Amino acid sequence: MITTFIAVVLAVLLHYEALWLISRQIEQSHRPHRQRILVMAFGVLATHIAEIWLFGLTGWWLSAINGIGALKGYESFHLLDYIFFSAVTYTTVGYGDIYAVGPVRFLYGTLALTGFVLITWSASFTFIEMQKHWRINK
């Protein structure tokens, strides 16, 4: 439970700082509008990928290294399988081919909620930034 809390705090802090940096870069940039928006979009995507990796590594560490729960669905799992499951859970897609058992389920349940909140935050941020900068250029 403590590990899950730490992973969530790190993901939220990473998200906050990344959006803050992206916003500052957009404000201070003298690049054309299109380039600023693309930098924002790729920055947000990179942030989400980093968060997926954070949770994937946490799940791998808990399950594969410490034996606190496991993933089921295949005969064996490698690190990238944990990253894949993290991405599927983070985005709340939930294909169902892999599932968590044991105490590690708390991490993945919390991951789904955290991913939903952070994706929504990014969508709001993107909308506000695009609206703000499109108004300026009209």
pLDDT tens-digit map of 18-64: 999 999 999 898 888 888 889 999 999 999 999 999 999 999 999 99
Taking residues 131-138, what's their average pLDDT? 66
- Whether residue 30 lies inside any domain: the answer is no
Query: What would the mean pLDDT of 6-27 be, rounded to a whole number?
Result: 96
For residue 106, is pLDDT > 80?
yes
Instruction: Classify residue 59: in a domain, yes or no.
Output: yes
Q: What is the chain's length?
A: 138
DSSP 74: S
Task: Record the pTM.
Answer: 0.90
Residue 13 inside a domain? The answer is yes
- The pLDDT > 90 percentage for the chain reads 79
Q: Is residue 45 part of a domain?
A: yes
Q: Is residue 31 part of a domain?
A: no
For residue 67, which phi and psi values (nearest 5 degrees)? 70, 25
138 occurs within a structural domain: no
When divided into structural domains, the chain yields a total of 1
Domain CATH code at residue 17: 1.10.287.70
Query: pLDDT value at position 1?
Result: 85
Question: Mean pLDDT in the chain?
Answer: 92
Is residue 109 assigned to a domain? yes
Q: What is the mean pLDDT of residues 108-123?
A: 96
Determine the pLDDT at residue 136: 56
The boundaries of the domain holding residue 109 are 2-25+36-133
CB-CB contact of 98 with 72 (8 Å): yes
Q: Is residue 108 part of a domain?
A: yes
C-alpha–C-alpha distance, residues 92 and 75, integer Å? 24
